[in-house]
A and B are shown apart, each in its own frame.
Chain A
Amino acid sequence: MTIEQGLDTVIRAEGLSKTFRLSRLRKVDALKDVTLAVSKNEYVVFRGPSGSGKTTLLNILGCLGRPSLGRIYLNGEDVTELGEEELCRIRRKNIGFIFQGFNLLPRMSAWENVSIPLIPLGVGERERFLRACALLERLGLQERVHHSPEELSGGEQQRVSVARALINEPDLILADEPTSNIDSDSAYKVLAAFASLRAKGSTLVVATHDHTLFQEVNTVYHLIDGRITDKELKKRP
Chain B
Amino acid sequence: MEPFNTRRKHWNLFLTATGNLVQRTPFRSAIILISLLAILFPFLTALSISEGIKAQSKISVEEGADFYITGDAGGSSAPLSRTSIDRFQTLPGVSRVVPRIVGRAYLGEQIVTIVGMPETLIVDTLSLMSGRSIQQKGEVIVGASLGRTYDLTEGSRFYLPINRWKRFTVVGTLSPSCTIWSAKLIYMSLEDAGELFRMKDMVTDFLIYANPGDNPVVNIHLQQENRAGLPLRMQSRELIQSYLQKGFDSRTGVLTAFYIVAFALSVPLILVVWGLGSVERKKEIALLKAVGWETLDVIEMALWENVLLSLAGATLAFLLAFLWIKGFNGFFIAQFFLAEPGLVPDFPVPSRFLPITAFMALFLSLALTLTGSLYYTWRTAITPSAELLR
Question: Residues on A close to B: CB < 8 A?
Answer: 56, 59-60, 64-66, 84-85, 88-89, 91-93, 97, 99, 101, 103, 105-108, 116-125, 164, 168-169
Contact = CB atoms under 8 A, between A and B. Distances in A.
Nearest to A165: B291
A97 B20 CA distance: 24
B9 A88 contact: no
B13 A119 contact: yes
Nearest to A64: B386
Given A84-B295, A120-B294, A125 B389 contact: no
A129 to B, nearest CB: 12
A4 to B, nearest CB: 28
Contacts of A93: 1, 292
B283 interface: yes
B6 interface: yes
Given A120-B12, A123-B5, A124-B8, A88 B292 contact: yes
A92 B287 CA distance: 12
Nearest to A124: B8
B23 A107 contact: yes
B280 to A, nearest CB: 7
B9 A120 contact: yes
Contact of A117 (B6, B283, B291): B291
Interface in B1-51: 1-2, 4-9, 11-13, 15-16, 20, 23-25
B291 A121 contact: no
Contacts of B386: 56, 59-60, 64-65
Contacts of B15: 125
Given A116-B293, A122-B11, 18 more contacts: A60-B386, A64-B290, A64-B389, A65-B386, A84-B289, A88-B289, A92-B1, A116-B291, A117-B291, A117-B292, A118-B2, A119-B16, A120-B9, A120-B12, A121-B2, A122-B4, A122-B7, A122-B12
Interface of B: 1-2, 4-9, 11-13, 15-16, 20, 23-25, 280, 283-284, 287-297, 382, 384-387, 389
B16 A66 contact: no
Q: Which of A89, A120, A122, A168 has the most chain B CB atoms inside 10 A of its CB?
A: A120
A168 to B, nearest CB: 7
A207 B197 CA distance: 101
A89 B292 contact: yes
Nearest to A119: B12
17 contacts: A56-B386, A59-B386, A64-B290, A64-B385, A65-B384, A65-B385, A85-B295, A92-B293, A97-B291, A99-B389, A103-B287, A105-B287, A118-B2, A120-B292, A122-B8, A123-B12, A168-B2
B291 A91 contact: yes
A-B pairs, 10 with minimum CB distance: A92-B292, A122-B5, A65-B386, A122-B8, A107-B24, A122-B9, A64-B386, A121-B2, A59-B386, A120-B297
B17 to A, nearest CB: 11
A104 to B, nearest CB: 8
A83 to B, nearest CB: 10
Contact of A108 (B8, B24, B283, B294): B24
B5 A121 contact: yes
